[in-house]
């Protein structure tokens, strides 16, 4: 009997120890980042050059002004680095950089044999800051990073690969943490080549200065149906913020759609805004399109002035979709699945709409 009690007590204690260990192990999952000093490339080709670039004499990588832009094929230039990743996993790239203007705010980054992608393209100029780059899955081992000329007149000091999305760059300094930003202010009419036009007419242009204080905007024109999208299969739990301005249309069927959790042109969620032909109202719907099936998750009416810029925010929490328009909480609908995917903009009927300053920010998980 005594032995039985001892064994039961020992089993319980063992279970508790195992549980505690596993809990402790989970909660102390090491978060780390691998830092690359850009002043020490393995090889370098001009116009990429290492020089003193920091305000306090720090060395880094620079491309001087007016030497030619890589994205237009005017000049080459690259710098190669090697770095070691201690553990398999998904890594979040950050870059400590100095951009000059909207035509000088990005660099191409290629990791191993992956397709090269853009780092930067954020709207912070003439200030050293940390900018959030793309995410990449890496295996344990040595990898190569090649930074090459996208825009001239740029300088960078560090690239870090953070093992956790919540683990940003250390130290003080300005941080631009959007996982995606497009203000369409890049040179050559916004250079929005990374967007994919599925249908309709989409272009970047400065809107009428009388009606808008912003600079360039993405303009969509539609006769029946238009769609432009920015794909990313890894985005989840994010907040999509953008400015939208609708132009009055005499068609009752004209509507605009802001797509999120977009996997392809047939699979996405959408905030559809159908402005009333007369009056200052609009009908809004949250739709889920799954192949050819469209489900209406929610619908409501709200005040909507045409020819005015409205700030739209869509937050994808773990189990809900929240919509805010002009800083006013309008809707929160629960969902029992995770919404994952890129974004898109669509137009229905005969209409013209302006879009600008599109931000995607990761929603950090809070302890329940």
Cβ–Cβ under 8 Å, residues 27 and 164:
no
CA distance to 68, 119, 136, per residue, from 116 (Å): 19, 10, 12
Q: How far is the CB of 357 from another protein (least distance, A)?
A: 24
Cα 157 → chain centroid: 22
Q: How far is the CB of 292 from another protein (least distance, A)?
A: 48
Cα 274 → chain centroid: 26
44 DSSP β-pair partners:
79
Q: Which is nearer to another protein, 128 or 309 (CB)?
A: 128
Neighbours of 24 (CB within 10 A): 9
Alpha-helical runs (H) found in the chain? 2-27
Q: Which is nearer to another protein, 74 or 112 (CB)?
A: 74
Q: How far is the CB of 152 from another protein (least distance, A)?
A: 9
Q: Which is nearer to another protein, 53 or 345 (CB)?
A: 53
Q: Which is nearer to another protein, 68 or 89 (CB)?
A: 68
Q: How far is the CB of 57 from another protein (least distance, A)?
A: 7
The site for another protein (CB under 8 A) is made up of 45-47, 49-53, 55, 57, 62, 64-67, 74, 98, 100, 126, 153-155
Q: How far is the CB of 141 from another protein (least distance, A)?
A: 30
Q: How far is the CB of 59 from another protein (least distance, A)?
A: 9
Return all residues near 258 (Cβ < 8 A) that are at least 6 apart.
240, 242, 244, 270, 271, 273, 312, 314, 343, 344, 345
> In degrees rounded to 5, what are phi and psi of residue 70?
-65, -40
Q: Which is nearer to another protein, 149 or 249 (CB)?
A: 149
> In degrees rounded to 5, what are phi and psi of residue 130?
-90, 130
**Cα(220)–Cα(204) distance, integer angstroms:** 9
Q: Which is nearer to another protein, 67 or 247 (CB)?
A: 67
**Cα(157)–Cα(83) distance, integer angstroms:** 15
Q: Which is nearer to another protein, 125 or 308 (CB)?
A: 125
Q: How far is the CB of 185 from another protein (least distance, A)?
A: 19
Output the six-digit token pair for 254: 């004209």
């Amino acid at each position: 009997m005594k032995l039985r009690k001892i064994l039961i007590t020992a089993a319980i204690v063992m279970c508790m120890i195992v549980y505690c260990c596993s809990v402790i192990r989970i909660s102390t999952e090491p978060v780390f980042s691998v830092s690359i000093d850009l002043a020490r490339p393995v090889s370098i080709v001009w116009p990429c050059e290492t020089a003193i670039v920091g305000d306090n004499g720090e060395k880094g990588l620079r491309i001087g002004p007016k030497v030619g832009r890589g994205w237009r094929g005017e000049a080459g230039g690259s710098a190669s680095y090697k770095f070691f990743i201690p553990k398999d996993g998904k890594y979040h790239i950050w870059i400590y950089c100095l951009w000059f203007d909207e035509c000088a705010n990005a660099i191409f980054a290629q990791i191993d044999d992956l397709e090269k992608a853009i780092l930067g393209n954020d709207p912070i100029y003439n200030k050293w800051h940390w900018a959030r780059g793309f995410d990449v899955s890496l295996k344990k081992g040595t990898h190569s990073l090649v930074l090459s000329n996208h825009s001239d007149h740029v300088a960078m000091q560090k690239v870090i690969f953070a093992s956790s999305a919540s683990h940003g760059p250390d130290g003080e300094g300005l941080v631009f943490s959007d996982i995606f930003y497009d203000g369409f202010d890049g040179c050559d009419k916004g250079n929005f080549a990374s967007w994919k036009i599925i249908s309709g007419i989409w272009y970047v242009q400065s809107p009428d200065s009388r009606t808008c204080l912003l600079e360039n905007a993405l303009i969509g024109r539609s006769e029946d149906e238009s769609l432009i999208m920015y794909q990313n299969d890894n985005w989840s739990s994010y907040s999509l913020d953008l400015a939208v301005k609708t132009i009055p249309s005499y068609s009752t069927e004209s509507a605009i759609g802001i797509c999120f959790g977009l996997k392809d042109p047939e699979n996405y969620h959408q905030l559809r805004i159908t402005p009333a032909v007369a009056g200052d109202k609009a009908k809004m719907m949250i739709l889920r399109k799954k192949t050819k099936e469209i489900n209406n998750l929610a619908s409501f009416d709200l005040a909507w002035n045409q020819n005015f810029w409205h700030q739209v925010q869509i937050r994808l929490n773990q189990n809900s979709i929240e919509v805010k328009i002009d800083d006013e909480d309008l809707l929160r609908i629960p969902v029992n699945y995770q919404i994952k995917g890129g974004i898109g903009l669509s137009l229905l009927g005969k209409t013209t709409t302006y879009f600008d300053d599109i931000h995607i920010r990761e929603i950090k998980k809070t302890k329940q």
